[in-house]
Amino acid sequence: MKAKILKRTPNELKLEVNGIDHTFCNLLQKRLSEDENVDLAGYDIPHPLASNSIIYVRTKGTVNPEEALREAVKRTRKINREFSKELKKALKT
């Protein structure tokens, strides 16, 4: 997986990431949208046969988009850990 910054301003970040698909991008977009400091979050997969995704984040200016993205990833990890724990409990019964 490789990431490349396509655009960076104080409140915008456009990032190209190879090797991720709709599943991860949609989850990340949802977590970003839950952040009150994020004005807009979205993604695009320019071609269905290509493995690169474009992630876009625009903040309201109170935090930079890099920090908003890091926090969204942290929340995603936390949810994954919680789900894993509950799944293990459910599978024991």
In the predicted model, what is the mean pLDDT of residues 6-11? 96
List pLDDT tens digits, range 75-90: 999 999 999 999 999 9
The pLDDT of residue 66? 96
- Ranges of each domain in the chain: 2-92
The pLDDT of residue 20? 87
Task: For strands 38-44 and 2-9, give the pairing.
Answer: unpaired
In whole angstroms, give the CA distance from residue 39 to residue 24: 20
Q: Which CATH class is domain 2-92?
A: alpha beta
The pLDDT of residue 60? 95
Q: Is the pLDDT of residue 30 over 70?
A: yes
pTM: 0.84
